Amino acid sequence: MCGIIGITGDAPTLDVLLEGLARLEYRGYDSAGLALLPATAGGALWRARAATGTHSLDDLAKRVDGAPEGATTGIGHTRWATHGRPSEENAHPHVDCTGTVALVHNGIIENHYELSDALVAAGHELSSETDTEVLAHLLEEALAEAPEAGLVGAVRTMLGRVRGYFALAAVRTAEPGLIVAARRVSPLVMGVTATTALLASDIPALLGTTSEFLLLEDDQIAELRPGSVRVTDLDGVEVEPKARTVDYDLDAARKDGYDDYMSKEIHEQPAAVASTLLDRQLPDGTLALDEVRISDDELRSIDKVFIVACGSSYHAGLMAKYAIEHWARLPVEIDIASEFRYRDPVLDSHTLVIGVSQSGETVDTLQALREARRWNAKVLVISNVVDSSMTREADAVLYTRAGPEIGVAATKTHLAQITALEILALYLAQVRGTLYPAEARALLVRMGELPAKVALALERGPAVDDVARAYRDSPSFIFLGRHVGYPVALEGALKLKELSYLRAEGFPAGELKHGPIALVEPGTVVIGVATRTRLWEKMLANVAEVKSRGATVVLVANDGDDETARQADAVLWVPPTEQLFAPIVDVVPLQLFAYSMARLHGLDVDRPRNLAKVVTVE
Ligand code: M6R
């Protein structure tokens, strides 16, 4: 986790570093820090750090008074704590014993205990609890042993001693103007202009400075100097980095008049679904997925599908399982990505493994997909981030086109994921001939209606606020659903707990009587997804079971469905739709409910505690 940034150029870097850190804050905000190099060799390194949670960056900006005027080379970091509590001592950049080398790092150094024991035995003084600090001291040792190799040589030597994941950037006072960066698994992009070279954990952090980016691959080392970037592999052989031109709209990453990013992103959902659907349908009514570089013949030879993902992406995958099995008649297993590779899944070249990840960087999913490739399975990634690590390694990519999502809680990207997965399910059915063309065409027409239905569901926001107000003092919530309503219930519970820190559990409603119903007592608030999908009647029977034990019941119901409404104390209305598309519409009031509840509790919806937008640790 964490975000890193580095800039070297011919103009003061401080403001650009702070602006970039602000855009990286979604990756963690336990602390923030900066180090600036002196303009000439031999000057002192300047460092400032702040560890005040969501205020870290503001506080850092207040501590820059003593910064050397006009410093043109610097590195910065925003942290999501793994090793070592959030504190100033543990904040990056970390320095060596001499205070002349500074380093920022995103990732985990798995052998840091062993390395720090060796460093301490050799006389180094470590001043933090982090896994990162050992890297600064390893650089110090390498520089003492081979000063002529300089910082880049020291980084190469250091990487030979570490195990784990990293995107890192280091500077040294004896080499002004130089930043050395390296990457394994954790993301790192670079930009270069005539007078500047920049690096960051993601592209948006550097927007406004350049639109031309270079991608650092695993086990490559980059030397950034004003106006140039040189990339070598671990053996020192020069390599040509891949280049990308990015046409991002920076305004899209701002709040557009909404109180917060989450609210803006929730209201962008009709557009997110519409653009994910765009251009997929050929004039003859069939689907074309040009990003899919697996041939139709190969797709026809698939006999099993696995979906791997985490969090909301996992819930999207769960929804897709129903669609792929129903339309494409392929067996689908779905796994929490962090469990997948440790259970020895049975995979071969006839297996399709679908990774679902908004960021394309979640390390659990990335590693699960690498495991799949190891067994020659075909890998298809659904992601919102172009050129993310997962998309670069996949056989095929289906992009969700939701635009940048800044709020930590997934909303518009979640709806776009379900949409993309449903398109994929229909595509598989088309290729495998498991749906009549007329059936597929009819479904595509219904899909085209989804953006308008999501917009309708959003119009009910004020009514959802009323329901949230009515139950604001409830300490816990139970979410129930059946069939495709089950993953919707899981997502509703996840949104509520991550945003409002309330206890919320989602269950398949039919499973309730096997244990969870013991939680129900008079006054327990149960939120049920009771739209008219396949198991609607059975769902209402489960609702009756909790009502008869005194539960207060809130139901998501289709417009005009009085029969369902009669079973509820409060109703969250949504327009009806084809049942396998229903999650795209039915989850909207649950997002609004969680948002509203968090606001009622005075919480920061964009930056919930303990979370980060991109999870690059196992
Ligand atoms: O970037 P990814 O889709 O791989 O992220 C997966 C989860 O970390 C993410 O969905 C997380 O659960 C969100 N906080 C949910 O709102």
Q: How many helices (H) and strands (E) does the chain have?
A: 20, 25
> In this model, does residue 256 exceed pLDDT 90?
no
Strand order in the sheet with 197-200: 46-50, 31-36, 73-79, 3-8, 197-200, 189-192, 212-215, 242-245
Structure-model confidence comparison of residues 187 and 37, the more confident one: 37
> In this model, does residue 253 exceed pLDDT 60?
no
- Domain annotation for the chain: domains and CATH numbers: 3-254 (3.60.20.10), 265-448 (3.40.50.10490), 455-600 (3.40.50.10490)
Q: Is 311 in the pocket of ligand 1 (CB under 6 A)?
A: yes
For residue 212, the cross-strand partners are: 245
How many angstroms separate the alpha carbon of residue 112 from the centre of ligand 1?
27
Question: Which ligand 1 atom is nearest residue 309's CA?
Answer: 4
Contact 365, 335 (CB under 8 A): no
CA distance 605 to 201: 23
Contact 121, 16 (CB under 8 A): no
Q: Is 131 in the pocket of ligand 1 (CB under 6 A)?
A: no
φ, ψ of residue 427 to 5 degrees: the values are -65, -45
Regarding beta strands 552-558 and 525-529, do their DSSP bridges make them parallel or antiparallel, or are they unpaired? parallel
Regarding beta strands 503-508 and 476-481, do their DSSP bridges make them parallel or antiparallel, or are they unpaired? parallel
All residues at 6 or more sequence positions from 44 whose CB lies less than 8 Å from its CB, including other chains: 38, 99, 173
175-219 pLDDT per residue, tens: 999 999 999 978 899 999 999 999 999 888 898 888 889 999 989
The protein residue whose alpha carbon is closest to atom 9 in ligand 1 is 311
pLDDT at position 465, please? 97
Q: Is 367 in the pocket of ligand 1 (CB under 6 A)?
A: no
> If you write DSSP's letter for every residue of 68-96 in order, what string do you get?
PTT--EEEEEEE--SSS-SSTTTSSPEE-
CA distance 293 to 299: 10
Q: Is 358 in the pocket of ligand 1 (CB under 6 A)?
A: yes
Contact 560, 574 (CB under 8 A): no
The protein residue whose alpha carbon is closest to atom 16 in ligand 1 is 409
What three-state secondary structure class fits 251? helix
pLDDT at position 316, please? 98
Query: Comparing C-alpha atoms, which of 586, 231, 253, 194 is closest to residue 414?
Result: 586
466-492 pLDDT per residue, tens: 999 999 999 999 999 999 999 999 999
66-78 pLDDT per residue, tens: 888 889 999 999 9
Residue 72 identity: T
DSSP conformational letter for 279: T
What three-state secondary structure class fits 185? coil
Chain centre to alpha carbon of residue 609: 16
Question: What average pLDDT does the chain have?
Answer: 93
Number of other residues whose CB lies within 10 A of the CB of residue 86: 18
How many angstroms separate the alpha carbon of residue 498 from the centre of ligand 1?
11
Question: Which ligand 1 atom is nearest residue 410's CA?
Answer: 16
- For a pocket test of ligand 1, which of 499, 615, 617, 618 has the largest count of ligand atoms closer than 8 A to its C-beta? 615
Active site residue 2: yes
pLDDT at position 251, please? 60
User: Rounded mean pLDDT of 279-308?
Assistant: 83
Regarding beta strands 238-239 and 228-233, do their DSSP bridges make them parallel or antiparallel, or are they unpaired? antiparallel
Confidence tier at 49 by pLDDT (50, 70, 90): very high
Question: Which ligand 1 atom is nearest residue 608's CA?
Answer: 14
User: Rounded mean pLDDT of 122-136?
Assistant: 96
142-177 pLDDT per residue, tens: 999 999 999 999 999 999 999 988 999 999 999 999
Structure-model confidence comparison of residues 26 and 61, the more confident one: 61
How many angstroms separate the alpha carbon of residue 507 from the centre of ligand 1?
20
CA distance 354 to 173: 46
User: Rounded mean pLDDT of 232-248?
Assistant: 89
> In this model, does residue 393 exceed pLDDT 70?
yes
Q: Is 310 in the pocket of ligand 1 (CB under 6 A)?
A: yes
Contact 366, 389 (CB under 8 A): yes
pLDDT at position 80, please? 81
Number of other residues whose CB lies within 10 A of the CB of residue 61: 17
How many angstroms separate the alpha carbon of residue 503 from the centre of ligand 1?
19
